[in-house]
Amino acid sequence: MSQKVKFSSASGSSFYATVRKRVEQYFVQNQISQHANAQMWGKTSFFLIGFVGTYLLIIFGLTPIWMLLPLSAILGMFSAFVGFNVCHDAIHGALSGNKKVNKIFGFVFNLVGANPYVWSITHNVVHHTYTNIPGHDEDIDVAPGLIRISEDDEVNAIQRYQHWYAFPLYSLASLSWVFRKDYKKFFQNKIGAHRNKHPKREYFNLFFYKGLYYLLFIILPLLVLDITWWQFIIGFLLLHIAQGLTMGLVFQLAHVVEGTDFPVPNETGQIEEAWAEHQMRTTANFATHNKFAAFFLGGLNRQIEHHLFPKVCHIHYGEISLIVKKTAEEFNLPYIENKSFVSALKSHFVTLKKFGKEAAAVN
């Protein structure tokens, strides 16, 4: 879509000014940095050690052969958790106030199969600006033609069953990322309304680090492990099913649930709300009081705070959420929240079923 999207500069603008001032005051008054603290660096160490340690257990054959399958699934989940907790913050510039430190930890994204440069465009620039706007936010285009999540998506007969087959499709997200998505996004002319024009070094980085991933996760295991090719394929698929399902569910539960909007610009490309108000209507939190979710999901269960303050490390989201929620109530804005992971999952299921209903009328 070539139309440039513009947000209103009037409606809701005072909300963002107020909430931003209050959050800034929180950090100043408590004399703390908006970046990682000791607890966050402890989390970072845990997930990186878990990821590298699990990989080494597999590659050096340090466990019985029957352990390779469960270890492959664990490695897939650690890959997702490293992405959530370490790389996501680093690529947003939220992990550290030092750009070089962020770049180093953002590099790890290559080792879980994704390209940090492409992600910075599709997620940081496009998704965070045009959240849930059909034709602009490509993060919600999980499987075009198969998954329908807005009134403006095309309709076909198979989508009547999408609430059943969507979840198996999510498990393929990581495989798509490794072998297809990054290449497609890199070489298409535009991502949403963002026109691609890449530095020459990023062409090298794309192919070099994809090659490094293929070496570490395909070629090396086939060379050193005492397994057959078909046993390797089973393990590799299990790794990516675990990684893909973990990633897919977490991202979908933040934007495709009951109550979130999928606004369409008017004929001049105007969204009637200010950007921050738009974020409040298109983003949802879930399981915010669950310590397990807080530790493992890297703040992605607090998407409202993340979308308003992407350069704040997620370790602080619990505290600033009190400020955001109170301010939203003052400005009569929604604060969409599912109390648990299960309730968010049910809400996502209901949303998929709702948008699939029209497909029942298609022959």
pLDDT digits (tens, 9 = 90+) for 317-332: 999 999 999 999 999 9
CA distance 265 to 71: 47
Q: Which pLDDT does position 362 carry in this prediction?
A: 64
Q: What is the pLDDT of residue 271?
A: 87
Q: Is the pLDDT of residue 169 over 70?
A: yes
Q: How many CA atoms lie within 13 A of 143 on its CB side?
A: 19
As a whole number, mean pLDDT of residues 230-250 equals: 94
* Torsion sign across C-alpha atoms 302, 132, 277, 87: positive
Task: Identify each DSSP E strand in 23-154 by its residue range.
Answer: none
Residue 231 covered by a domain: yes
**Measured in Å, how far apart are the chain's first and last C-alpha atoms?**
28
* pLDDT interval class at 140 (50, 70, 90): confident
| Residue 270 · residue 4 · CB < 8 Å | no
The parent domain of residue 246 ranges over: 6-361
Stretch 84-98: mean pLDDT: 97
Query: Could you say which DSSP state residue 3 is in?
Result: P
**What domain count does the chain have?**
1
Domain-embedded: residue 1: no
Task: State the pLDDT at residue 1.
Answer: 45
Torsion of CA 74, 76, 82, 88, to 10 degrees: -150
Residue 314's nearest CA partner among 126, 113, 29, 83 is 83
Q: Give every CB contact of residue 324 below 8 A, 6+ residues apart in sequence.
A: 19, 23, 304, 305, 308, 335
- The answer to whether position 178 is within a domain reads yes
**Is pLDDT larger for residue 95 or for residue 153?**
95
pLDDT of residue 120: 94
**What are 302's two structure tokens?**
């607090």
Alpha-carbon gap, residue 219 to 239, rounded angstroms:
15
Task: With a cut of 80, say whether residue 93 has pLDDT above it.
Answer: yes
Mean pLDDT of the chain: 92
Q: Is 312 part of a structural domain of the chain?
A: yes
pTM here? 0.92
